[in-house]
Amino acid sequence: METLEGMTAGEIFGRIVHDPYTIGNRTIQLMAEYLRGDKKVLADGKIHIPSQVVTRENVEEYQRFLGKREE
């Protein structure tokens, strides 16, 4: 949270964040599909999980998102 507070204060410009919940959830979904016989879901060997740029302009929205995840 210190980084987010630094962004709000204008001391830190921004950061790139990943969503561990989505990473784990998507990995399990794809592995289940693979184990059920759909070998093409992992054919290229990559799983695309988007990242997000958090800046002073959207830090409050990101903090609300984090708060919802903790509920």
Q: What is the arithmetic mean of pLDDT over 42-66?
A: 86
The domain of 21 spans: 2-70
Number of separate domains in the chain: 1
pLDDT tier at 37, thresholds 50, 70, 90:
very high
Per-residue pLDDT at 71 exceeds 60: no
Q: Give CA–CA dist 51/22, Å, rounded.
A: 10
Q: What is the arithmetic mean of pLDDT over 4-13?
A: 86
Per-residue pLDDT at 8 exceeds 90: no
Per-residue pLDDT at 34 exceeds 90: yes
pLDDT tier at 70, thresholds 50, 70, 90:
low
